[in-house]
Amino acid sequence: MIRTLITAASALVLVATANAGEPSQKAAVKFKPEARATMTLEMVRTREDAAKLGEAEFTLADADANGSLNEIEFAKLEATLMKPESAPAPAPALSEASKFPAIAGEDGAVSKEEFAAVRAASFDAADVDLNRTLSDGERKVFASLIVAPKAETPQL
């Protein structure tokens, strides 16, 4: 057990060192290719599922693996969640792209817990009948709340 923990810790140090790179390489934000979403939008049925979706998205977006999303990582995530032009856009006030400063707060970064809470709040807004489960119609509303409209997504 201890040997496994030491091996895992060593591997994390090696990965962190390898990801440090030169300053010119740090500017490019990319999703981690080895990361896979454990939760998808289609799987969300409950508030807990919505929070898990937020955690999975956060893990994919945290390119530098520092445990928080900066504005560039957040915008990159939003760009990957962009709506097709034919899909109805949510009200501008609900777009998460404009919520980065509010979610990040004074520290200028979004933690995994903060991002999961945002997804859970979107679930609450979509669960119109308050039965703690999303119907197909409510799931569409949930999707419209978490996916940025194309016109509002910054180009990186």
Residue 111 three-state SS: strand
Dihedral Cα 34, 41, 103, 154, nearest 10 deg = 70
Confidence of residue 78 (pLDDT cuts 50, 70, 90): confident
Measured CA to CA in angstroms, residue 131 lies from 40, 144, 151 at distances of 21, 20, 33
Q: How many whole angstroms from its chain centre is CA 11? A: 25
Return the pLDDT at 30.
52
Instruction: Kindly report the number of other CB atoms within 10 A of residue 94's CB atom.
Output: 16
Please give the mean pLDDT across all residues of the chain: 73
Residue 4: pLDDT band with limits 50, 70, 90: very low
Residue 105, both tokens = 């707060």
Identify the DSSP state of 76: H
Q: What is the mean pLDDT of residues 55-62?
A: 93
Q: Is the pLDDT of residue 25 over 90?
A: no
Sequence ranges of the domains in the chain: 23-152
* d(C-alpha 76, C-alpha 80), whole Å: 6
Q: Per-residue pLDDT averaged across 110-121, rounded?
A: 94
- What was the pLDDT predicted at 148? 57
| Residues 81, 41 contacting (CB under 8 angstroms) | no
